[in-house]
Structure 1
Amino acid sequence: MHTPRLALVPGEPAGVGPELCVRLAQQPRGDHTLVAFGDAESLHRAAEALRLPLRTCAPGTDDADAPGSLALVEHPSARRAQFGRPDPANAHAVIAALRDAASRCLAGACSGLVTGPVNKAVINNGGIEYSGTTELLARHAGRDVVMMLANPTMRVALATTHLPLREVPIALTRESLTKTLRILHASLRHDFGLADPVIAVLGLNPHAGEEGHLGREEIDVIEPVLDTLREEGMRLVGPLPADTAFLPSRLAGFDALLAMYHDQGLPVLKYSGFEHAVNITLGLPYPRVAVDHGTALEIAGKGTADPSSLFAAVRTCSAMATARTGALSR
């Protein structure tokens, strides 16, 4: 069976990313291999702070995937990273590591990409226009993408992402919703091995519009899209009122939910299991999974950062890469 080779990018060198990667390096890697892209010094300083062993070596080196070892493609920071004190001078190295890892995924040298947290303000202050890693990877690959967060309880994809609430109804068009549902459906099949996935689609308005009395987006936009895609064979439930769609008895019948905006779906997912939640980018030519937390500068270097989300991201990315390989071979 093909063993996925995953690219790992720690992210902001002054945050918790390096120490989480050090903890990850201690784990057995039976179903995948790892290649990190980043600053060697920040990784070794994190290992010292944690009092854990770390041996960085070139990819392909014997025992590179033994516990305590990590294959590394170096992207040195311009200035020595200090725990909790991000430096805009290091922004170019962070972005270069992300682009290098993504390029190797596109070329087939790596099977998937796992990313740690990045500080948006620091990247922009370093002179790089940056709205987020998801957007960077979408432009790099030339693909439309969908953001989905997942934990062991549920998968929640987003029809719109980081928009003010007043802009959501404008952005929610038949074309955009159709594109999102096609990407979500294809990913559930190819990346998660679900032959006939069931997707719950939430309404935009309270009570899913109450037959037009609380808004017409369900009637004018959402329902026509669902009707068209159902004719193509997709199993779509909705539009559903968001206040009852997340009940455990209902969740059991869905493989994923599509929320219309960020805070409609993600607070419920994070409440149900934040530590094990991951952020997945659907629609790329390769699996990409990120941790579902920030750089946590206030605890960087203290050894208290929880590695659960990074561990879950690696497990998820490995499983997606394996499922995608199987789908392509069929």
Structure 2
Amino acid sequence: MSAPDKERRRPLALTMGDAAGIGPELSLQAWKDRFTDRLPAFVLYADIELMRAAARAAGIDDKVIVPVTDISAAADVFRDSLPVLSIPLAEPAKPGSPSVRNGPATISAIRSAVADVAAGHASAVVTNPIAKSVLYGAGFEFPGHTEYLGALAAEFWPGEPSEPVMMLASSKLRVVPLTIHVPLKDVPALLTADKIIKTARIMAASLRRDFGIENPRIAVAGLNPHAGEDGALGSEDAEIIRPAIEALRAEGLDVTGPHAADTMFHDAARKTYDAALAMYHDQGLIPIKTLAFDEGVNATIGLPFVRTSPDHGTAFAIAGKGVASATSLKAALKLAGEMVARRLSAAAS
């Protein structure tokens, strides 16, 4: 087997997320649909008994849950069984009832998955949803997945550029929020031309490398209604956002704006760009969750490794009831596989 073929056979590293959420059952559902949806092979970082219980609850023989220690063997196991790398919980998980005591296992699954990608055993990280409030009680010191992954990248890939940026992607829209989990009242003070320029550069690089778009087009949203309406509705659009766009265009990037956010997400407008840069969380996430609630994927770009995740939360209210949709997780697995393949092809050329 050639080196590129060996690279392509490396499985994805899928983390369990919060053990009391829908991650375990979604992982099992994705494995069940592996052939019909043509999913890449993955190994699940989770508690063995947690997954056996999830299998029984779904009416599946729990013998399909196969513990593995050799990640390289997961691709062979995957055809007939769900390979699980053991991440023991402190106590049995009850669907819908998260436990702070199991928080360290959630964190350990993420760290172990990233470590295996760094070591060359797995090809990319795909994460099931976590509950940040639960992890904070377990000593988690990061605002969320994105920031923790950035810290792990700096640890495992020292010296390599690492500026994690959250992109929400679907077949209908790709969007990056410039500011994420901050109060709306704090957003204007956080906007800088430098931040816009850096983020747009990362977006352009990812669109080329990870999405195969040779000449990416980026549309930048304004902050204020009607993009400030020539200063009548705020000065940030003219004083911060527009100069950043002009600087990016001077670099040769195809960047337009600032656009009025209320008119840049309809069908015709979306055909004019490959990704949108929103100024704050809801400005970007409301459109994509309206257009592609089930199929949206959270992709962390700007990292030295590929990471994707379903674009939804732990859904404790429906955990264990067998009604959660695995569509977004399956889309995340597919996108991770596609991103890895594009990076490998680019490296080989």
Greater mean deviation of Cα atoms: 262-271 or 128-137: 128-137
> Is residue 164 of structure 2 the alignment partner of residue 152 of structure 1?
no
Match of 2:294, SS state, is helix
Aligned to 2:157: none
Aligned partner of 2:253: which letter?
Answer: M
> SS at the partner of 1:239?
strand
**Per-residue deviation, residues 283-311 of structure 1 (Å, max 9, x unmatched):** 11111111111111121111111111111
2:126 to 104, 108, 114: 114
Structure 2 equivalent of residue 246 of structure 1: 265
Residue 209 (structure 1) aligns with? 228
**Count of equivalent residues:** 329
Match of 2:303 in 1: 284
The CA distance in 1 between the partners of 2:79 and 2:209, in whole Å, is: 30
1:56 pairs with one of 48, 66, 78:
66
RMSD: 1.5
Q: How does 1:67-216 map to 2 (within 5 A)?
A: 67=80, 69-142=81-154, 143-216=162-235
CA distance in 2, matches of 1:34, 1:240: 40
Given the superposition, is the C-alpha separation of residues 149 and 84 from structure 1 closer, same or farther in structure 2, using an over 3 Å criterion?
A: same
Equivalent position of 1:32 in the other structure: 40
Question: Conserved in 2, the CA contact under 8 Å of 1:149 and 1:156?
Answer: yes
Structure-1 separation of matches of 2:240 and 2:42:
43
**Equivalent-residue separation in structure 1 for 2:121 and 2:257 (angstroms):** 41
* Distance of 1:211 and 1:163 partners within structure 2: 27
Give the CA deviation at 1:12.
Answer: 0.7
Partners of 1:127 and 1:167 in 2: how far apart? 26
Identity %: 42
Q: Helix, strand or coil for the counterpart of 1:274?
A: coil
The one-letter amino acid of 1:9's match is T
Give the gaps of 5 or more residues in structure 2: 155-161
CA-CA distance at 1:100 after TM superposition: 0.8
Q: 2:285, 2:296 → 1: CA distance?
A: 10
Amino acid at match of 1:25: W
Distance, in Å, in 2 between the alignment partners of 1:281 and 1:76 is 27
- 2:316 matched to 1:297? yes
The amino acid across from 1:65 in the alignment is F
Q: What secondary structure, in the 3-state scheme, does the structure 2 residue paired with 1:12 have?
A: coil
Distance across 2 between alignment mates of 1:62 and 1:284: 25
What's the offset of the Cα at 1:57? Answer: 3.1
Q: Could you tell me which residue of structure 2 aligns to residue 66 of structure 1?
A: 79
Amino acid at match of 1:325: L
> Does the residue aligned with 2:84 lie in a helix, a strand or coil?
strand
- Unaligned runs of at least 5 residues, structure 1: none
